[in-house]
Structure 1
Amino acid sequence: MRAAIGTSDYHVSGETFINRHINLLFGGDTAVICGRFNGDDPYGKPLFVRRERLSGLDLLSFPFWTLWNRARHSTSRLPFGRGKRDLAAFLRDQRIDVILAEFGTQALALAPLANEVGVPIFTYYRGTDASKALQSPRIQAAYAKLMPRLAGVFSVSQFLLDNLARHGVRHRNAHVIPSGVDVRRFAPTEKVPLSCLAVGRFVEKKAPLTTLRSFAEATAQRPEARLDFIGDGPLLSPTQALAAELGVANRVTFHGSQPHDRVREILQRTQFFVQHSVTAADGNTEGLPTAIQEAMACGCITVSTRHAGIPEAIDEGETGFLVDEHDAAGFTRAIAAAFAVPDTSAMGSKARQVAEERFDNDVLLAKLEREIRRTLGQ
């Protein structure tokens, strides 16, 4: 079976779940449809870039098609004119059997044409597309029109499917399949005692300032404790300034953005993974953070929040500790409780076991293929 993977930007090294689909879905028999191409194509797949297809005539007709598509589909994302004809030809020439649109917003652009040319299309909700995007009544309406056009829906967490349903967006063929982790590569090594790690962009929904402050408070009597941050973003400088203000700059390392292999190396020797995820003011949430799945595979004890799909991964008191969003005092207590676990090795081993059982991405990829084949067989 030959699949076209629809995504917004290609190639993005941090989008490991999308890259895995591009490289391995149905044995790697895939092509790529993207909105933007950054010039990096590590997989050498046949590639169609949607936003490179505006001819002079298309530019003239752009205002008409914008209004038409908004009226008919509640979105202006759809290809038209030469771009639409070229995409239809690409699907035909590549003999595409099925389209997997990564993110619901990509499905909005591709589903009507897929229906026209008779190619079944599925989508995969992962976070922002089923949280922040739903703050727009127009997106809610677009998603409602989208559902009947899809052969099926996948989501990284039940939380996101429930959030869609709260906005009247449902599909009878919906499945929860987390992004997963390569449990063969992400595996524990010898742990550095009292080592903590936070991975992710320095943005509101990751609450790095809360993570840092709670670490400083929880380890006031443990000067040997260390915290590593991996990532960058608008809150990086304020977080660095807070580390100096709290007097813990000598115990906190800011690595900036790092390659995936470097993240793995640090995770493998880290004892505690800390992430105070919250719902941002614009409604943006996690789906089920890949970093938490990777941390569990590396035998880390996780301290996080009851946010989005995180409670679907962490068994409280068994593989980690969770508090409510924005409960900074509770987060401090949770870090202290994690440090006080009598047998951290046993809890880390339990986290590893759960990751093997729930988040092995070879198993999850096979499940995704099986559900697609089952649906198309029907």
Structure 2
Amino acid sequence: MRVAIATGEYHLGGETFINRHIEHLFGGDTVVVCGRFRGDNPYGKPYFVRRDGLSGRDIMVAPWWLLRNRMRHGTSRLPFGEAKEALIRFLRDERVDVILAEFGTQALALAPLANALGIPIFTYFRGTDASKAIRTERMRSAYRKMMPRLTGVFSVSQFLLDNLAKHGISHPDSMVIPSGVDIRRFAPQAKVPLSFLAVGRFVEKKAPMTTLRAFAQATADLPLARLDFIGDGPLLEPTRALAEELGIAAKLRFHGAQPHNTVRDKLMSTQFFLQHSVTARDGNTEGLPTAIQEAMACGCITVSTRHAGIPEAIDEGETGFLVDEHDEAGFAKAIAAAINVPDLSAMSARARQAAEQRFDNHVLLKLLERHIQDALLAAPPGLGGLPNQASA
């Protein structure tokens, strides 16, 4: 089965879940449809860039098409004119059997066209696309119009499906399949005592300064404790400044953005993983952070928040600790509780076992393939991409 993977940018090294689909889904029989191409095609896949510029003719007719698509489909993201014709040729020339849009926002752009071509289309909700993206009624309306066009829906967490459902956005064939982790590459090694790691962008949703202050409180009497931050972003320098202000700079190491292999190597020897995820003021949330799944696979004891899909991963007191969002004092207490677990190796082993059972991406990939095949067999005429759907 030949699958077109639709994503915003190709290739992004940090999007391991999408890259795995591109490389391995249905034996790697895939092509890529992307919004932007970053100049790297490590898997040698045929690809099509949807936003490669408009022709002169398309620029002339753009106002009419943008207005039409917004009125009919609730969004102006749909391709039109020569760009649409080129995408149709690509999908036909590559003999695409099914489309997997890796974000709900990508599905918005492609669902009507897929329907017109008789190509079944699925989408995956991963976080922002089912939180921040639906703050406006315009986007919620567009999603409601899109749902009947889809053959099926996947999500990395039940939280995201519930969040969509609260706004009347649902699909009868919806399934939770986490992004997962390669548990053969992410595995525990000997742990460095009192080693802590936080991975992610320095942005509001990750609350790095809350993590830093809580770590400072919890380890005030532990001079050997060390916290490594991996990532960059607008809050990096303010977090550095806070470390100096608190007088704990010697306990911290800021590594900036690092390759995925570096993150893996650090996780394997780290004892405690910290992630104080919160809902940003613009409504942006996590789905189920891949970093937490990777940390559990490496046997890290995770201290995080009751946010989005995180409680679906961590069993409180068994594989890690959770506190409410923005509860800095509680986060410090949870870090201290993690440090003082009577049998750290046993909790580490339970975290690893949970990752093996829930997040093995080899198993999850097969589950995704099987569900796509089953959904195609079960889809009644008129649902999710058959020719009698409304045309684009």
If the length of structure 2 is used for normalisation, what is the TM-score? 0.96
How far apart are the structure 2 equivalents of 1:339 and 1:215?
11
In the alignment, what sits opposite 1:146? 146
Identity rate, percent = 73
Is there any run of 5+ residues in structure 2 with no aligned partner, and where? Answer: 379-392
Q: Which SS does the other structure have where 1:51 is aligned?
A: coil
| Residues 53-103 of structure 1: CA deviation (Å, up to 9, x unaligned) | 521100011111111111001100000001111111111111100000010
In the alignment, what sits opposite 1:47? 47
In the alignment, what sits opposite 1:82? 82
Alpha carbons 1:74, 1:141 under 8 Å: kept? yes
Q: Which SS does the other structure have where 2:284 is aligned?
A: coil
> Quick check: 1:230 aligned with 2:230?
yes
In the alignment, what sits opposite 1:199? 199
How far apart are the structure 1 equivalents of 2:370 and 2:139?
30
How far apart are the structure 1 equivalents of 2:52 and 2:207?
37
In the alignment, what sits opposite 1:338? 338
How far apart are the structure 2 equivalents of 1:39 and 1:187?
32
Q: Which SS does the other structure have where 2:51 is aligned?
A: helix
Supply the AA of the counterpart residue of 1:369. Answer: E
In the alignment, what sits opposite 1:173? 173
How far apart are the structure 2 equivalents of 1:9 and 1:65?
24
Report runs of 4+ in structure 1 exceeding 6 Å deviation: none
Supply the AA of the counterpart residue of 2:54. Answer: L
In the alignment, what sits opposite 1:32? 32
Matches within 5 A, 1:204-223: 204-223=204-223
In the alignment, what sits opposite 1:135? 135
In the alignment, what sits opposite 2:383? none
How far apart are the structure 1 equivalents of 2:353 and 2:135?
37
Q: Which SS does the other structure have where 1:349 is aligned?
A: helix
Aligned-residue CA RMSD (Å)? 0.5
How far apart are the structure 2 equivalents of 1:136 and 1:44?
38
In the alignment, what sits opposite 2:287? 287
| Residues 174-195 of structure 1: CA deviation (Å, up to 9, x unaligned) | 0000000000000000000010
In the alignment, what sits opposite 1:371? 371
How far apart are the structure 2 equivalents of 1:53 and 1:268?
44
Supply the AA of the counterpart residue of 2:188. Answer: P
How far apart are the structure 2 equivalents of 1:180 and 1:68?
39
> Quick check: 1:278 aligned with 2:278?
yes
Is there any run of 5+ residues in structure 1 with no aligned partner, and where? Answer: none
Alpha carbons 1:189, 1:269 under 8 Å: kept? yes
How far apart are the structure 1 equivalents of 2:50 and 2:208?
36
How far apart are the structure 2 equivalents of 1:197 and 1:53?
42
Quote the offset at 1:306 in angstroms: 0.1
Supply the AA of the counterpart residue of 1:271. Answer: Q
In the alignment, what sits opposite 2:388? none
Query: Greater relative contact order (Cα 8 A, min sep 6): structure 1 or 2?
Result: 2
How far apart are the structure 1 equivalents of 2:128 and 2:200?
15
In the alignment, what sits opposite 1:123? 123
Q: Which SS does the other structure have where 1:238 is aligned?
A: helix
If the length of structure 1 is used for normalisation, what is the TM-score? 1.00
How far apart are the structure 2 equivalents of 1:350 and 1:196?
18
How far apart are the structure 1 equivalents of 2:371 and 2:236?
41
Matches within 5 A, 1:255-334: 255-334=255-334
| Residues 92-146 of structure 1: CA deviation (Å, up to 9, x unaligned) | 1111000000100000000000000000000000000000001011110000000
Quote the offset at 1:375 in angstroms: 0.7
Q: Which SS does the other structure have where 2:44 is aligned?
A: coil
Alpha carbons 1:53, 1:82 under 8 Å: kept? no
In the alignment, what sits opposite 1:239? 239
Supply the AA of the counterpart residue of 2:266. Answer: I
How far apart are the structure 2 equivalents of 1:348 and 1:243?
28
Tell me how many residue pairs correspond in the alignment. 378
How far apart are the structure 2 equivalents of 1:335 and 1:290?
21
How far apart are the structure 2 equivalents of 1:116 and 1:54?
22
